[in-house]
Amino acid sequence: MRLYDIVVVLSPEETPEQVTALVDGFKKILTDDGAQLKIEEIWGRRRLAYPIAKRREGVYYYWQVEAKAETIAELERKLRLSDEVLRHLAVRADEELRRSVKLKKRREAKAAAKPKKAPAEAAAEASEPPAEA
Amino acid sequence: MRKDFKKDKKTGNRKKFFVRRRKACKFCVEKIEYVDWKDVKTLQGFIPERGKILPRRISGVCSLHQRKLQTAIKRARAIALLPYATD
């Protein structure tokens, strides 16, 4: 199981009912295959940065899911087939997340190692940290 | 010769001696490890009018974060959050 970020851009001409039906269909593909929906964000109607298929707006949906690679492949296939989907993007989120945690830890370790040399200085720094970065 | 040079320094051409402020990497300063491709507001700061990615020689972003920024902008472009090009 891996963590994925998925964004789907739907055509703005769809009625709200059609949109929810479509979205539920996509979510069903995920959940039926044992995927877990972690975050769901409905960004709603947004202006597109450039026209896609003569449309200037799109309805955006964002999900973060924990799923198997095959599940994502299946979802992407469905997304590509449906005409209502203007654009979609599914990328792995776990690798970047782990890396950022690692970097954070390393920085904290560095910060923790510093005060040993000059405790007084570090204390002063701690009281007003981001003033001179 | 020497005297002339000194005079020059005193009177004219201040621009020549203007000390450029060192640019700091925005992401390092704010301690952001993960450059989020969904965060359009932040990314937009690195997109000049033309829609190109701002070079780091101008923005001052460090090479690590520039690389992350690059993929983030490209992802945002793919789903029409950011433009590929504008005129």
Which residues of chain B have a CB within 8 Å of the CB of A91? 37, 75
**Any CB–CB contact under 8 A between A129 and chain B?**
no
| Per-residue pLDDT at A16 | 87
Residue of B33, B41, B50, B65 to mutate, interface with A, max A Cβ within 10 Å:
B33
> How many Å apart are CA B29 and CA B86, to the nearest integer?
30
Q: Please, which pLDDT band fits residue A130 given cuts at 50, 70 and 90?
A: low
> How many Å apart are CA B55 and CA B73, to the nearest integer?
13
C-alpha dihedral (A79, A80, A82, A85), degrees to nearest 10: 70
Three-state SS for A21?
A: helix
| Per-residue pLDDT at A52 | 92
Q: What is the CATH number of domain B19-87?
A: 4.10.640.10
**Any CB–CB contact under 8 A between B29 and chain A?**
yes
The single-letter DSSP state of residue A6 is: E
User: What does the angle CA A25 – CA A29 – CA A34 come to, to the nearest 5 degrees?
Assistant: 140
Q: What is the pLDDT along chain B (87 residues), one digit of tens a residue?
A: 455 555 445 555 555 666 777 778 888 888 888 888 999 999 999 999 999 999 999 999 999 999 999 999 999 999 999 999 887
Residue with tokens 């000049």: B48
Q: What separation in angstroms does the CA of A31 have from each of A4, A39, A56, A88?
A: 14, 13, 32, 18
- pTM of the model as a whole: 0.74
**Any CB–CB contact under 8 A between B33 and chain A?**
yes
The reply to whether residue B77 touches residue A49, judged by beta carbons under 8 angstroms, is: yes
The reply to whether residue A87 touches residue B80, judged by beta carbons under 8 angstroms, is: yes
Q: Per-domain residue ranges for chain B? A: 19-87
Of the candidate ranges A40-54, A66-80, B16-30, B53-67, the one whose mean pLDDT is the lowest: B16-30
The reply to whether residue A50 touches residue B24, judged by beta carbons under 8 angstroms, is: no
| Per-residue pLDDT at A105 | 87
Which residues of chain A have a CB within 8 Å of the CB of B78? 87, 89
Of the candidate ranges A45-49, A87-91, B18-22, the one whose mean pLDDT is the lowest: B18-22
A8-19, pLDDT tens digit by residue? 999 998 888 989
The CATH fold of domain A2-96: Alpha-Beta Plaits (3.30.70)
Convert A41-79 into a string of H (helix), E (strand) and C (coil). EEEEEEEEEEEECCEEEEEEEEEEEEECHHHHHHHHHHH
Three-state SS for A132?
A: helix
ipTM over 0.85: no
Kindly report the average pLDDT of chain A as a whole number: 85
Q: Per-domain residue ranges for chain A? A: 2-96
Which residues of chain B have a CB within 8 Å of the CB of A133? 24, 29
Question: To the nearest whole percent, how much of chain A has pLDDT over 90?
Answer: 52
A99-124, pLDDT tens digit by residue? 888 888 888 888 888 765 555 555 55
Among B33, B37, B80, whose Cβ lies nearest the Cβ of A48? B80
